[in-house]
Structure 1
Amino acid sequence: MGWGMKVFVEALGMASCLGPVIPACAAFRANLLRPSQSPDVDVAHPGDEAPRPVTICALPVATFGFSGVGRLVALACEVLKDVGTRVDLRGFGPETGVYLALPDPWERGLDLGEPDATEALRAEALGRRVLEASLRNMGLEWPGPRRFFCGGHVAFARALHAAQAALQSGGLRSCLVMGVDCLVEEPTLHALADGRRLKTPEQPVGLTPGEAGAALLLTTEGSAQRSTGAPQVMLHAVRLGEEPHPRGSDRPSDGRALAACAEAVLAAAGALRSRPLLVSDHNGEEGKAREWGMVLLHLRALDASLGGLPAWYPSIGFGDVGAAMGAVSACVAVRGLQRGDAPSSVSLVFASADDSGRGAVLLGTTAAHPSRGALP
């Protein structure tokens, strides 16, 4: 094995307000929404006669009654169940890794008993708790390597980047890359409300909090797609970057860092067979909108053919799901390619965190299985 090895998406899994991965992605493409009202938090704005419940995108059943770490475990278990309908998770050995993207425990009000730990150590502590409990609940043993990643919307891209490197170097034969997060619990909702970040009838510029988990099973063999005759989807490239003017800076982002990530994955992939579909993590906030608009301008300046590209916005259907946003976006992109519903044979997935983290992921069908919209 070597660094030139291709990496394929063998299976998907999801837990979301719209259901498991297949019905959820179909519902998203059909613009079917399933928002609900928070049972815990009401928000009052100036002029309101009474507080109003916060609109959220929560799982209807699976996470009910769970909180904190237990809620993340419930999400992870649902994702594993969904992946397990396509592959036998009990058959994985030490050559299969598990890379998990999670929120920073401090941002979710989770006390893990390590107040002075670094973000990496907090991710490790939370990740081990979530993964070990999830595997135990599912009756699974996973002897392969485990790694954990934080970083908000970019956490999954970081996990994907590390997984691709491990697969291409021969360190792993396959890897389950998963993201889980929940923004619908009371401490997080209060923090978002205090920061005036919530989308409401009085404040349409804001985000809708959600919760979700999603995963991609990556392999260097691509055997599942060949055996079923469905289009093979390949992970072309992942690139990460740093934004010099993140949220809270004295000046807004000019989009250059995120556009540079996109330019880098496009360059790594070489000549494309079609203009890419853009899959954005834009969540409705003003800062995200400004950065996204600048990214589109930079892409058009880079290449005139990159102007006016079609775009999908998963947060419309799933809400802002934090560290799971990249995983949900990737699943939406892959399903669109597999089904031929994407208006391209290539999808470019963007990730922009509240901090300086930025990332881009390029996915596409193989030449043998072009998706609808591919150039001849």
Structure 2
Amino acid sequence: MAGIYFHIPFCKTRCNYCDFYSTTDKNKVPELIKAELKEVDLRKNYLSNEVIETIYFGGGTPSLISPGNIEKLINTVYKNFKIDANLEITIEVNPDDINSNKIKLYNKIGVNRISVGLQSFNNEILSFINRRHDAAKSLKAIEIIKNAGYKNISVDLIYGIPNLSIKDWESTIDKTLELKIQHISAYHLSFEKGTKINSQLLKKEINQISDDESFAQYNLLCKKFKKYNFEHYEISNFSLKNFESKHNSAYWQNKKYLGIGPSAHSYDGNSRQWNVKSLNKYIESINSEKKYFLHEFLNENQKYNELILISLRTNKGLTINDLKMCFNKNIQNHFLKSVNKYLDNGKIKINNKGNYVITEKDWFISDGIISDLFITN
């Protein structure tokens, strides 16, 4: 099984925290769709005849382009690949792009999962991070989506934002729970190089919240969603039973995926590939059939590091069998030696299935734990 990701880079405005590749030049939508259709055809053998179980439209803001263009991309996947009977098709949407007609068209063309970029129910916070919707538009968007019959809805939230109080964060969580949706992705704000918010931080126009405040917000998130029967199945993701994101779960299960569009990444089990991070260069290169990507073959140490990174992000964790099946004794011994101190201090536990799992509270500091288990030479 494998997945296909389409990057739709267009945005009306740029959020000041986002470092994903995007552009506000919407004039090139027709050219991009034509190029992405061609890329699918050029790369139809990349996944070695794997059955496609997920299609994901991310961005950017995929909801800015017409459902008709989304349909063209879905149809070309059906034309070029074997498709699983329970195909999951997700599209990311911005609340103020949503109307009844658009949602009905999504439903008609086969989109069966909607991911809504709410981020917060606090209008001051939304303004601070330069989102173009307000809380009322978020509520209206969810109402429209639910009224169209969707029963697989996800929302994105952000915490760890400067000036976000624990009280305001709790209010956003409570309002999200009131929506009675099936999935939540909640991310701690990161200050990425090249973003406006990072520039503000460097200029000392804003301050990061303290580690204690960040952890308090994370801890509240975990407790609230657990109370309402959400499973915390990955560091940033919570779902009701059987509503995990199949597409994102495939990444963490080390499955193959094909990325289409400017800046999109691909993985075939042995190598990574990433497309040029420029709309114009991507379109020009695809049309002239010139190289539009960089490529890297993974050595055994890199494959081990990748497995550690993706498996310990999840509540299923890592089994010793995963290591034995894929890696030599030296790599196995490196892990067993490196993990001991985290078993001793309780940050990693072995569950009843024999899997190595980072505890939920220590997921908050998991970057340091995971990197410490890497092979670095």
**How high is the TM-score relative to the length of structure 1?**
0.25
Greater percentage in helix:
2
Greater C-alpha radius of gyration: 2
**How high is the TM-score relative to the length of structure 2?**
0.25
Higher relative contact order (CA 8 A, sep 6+): 1
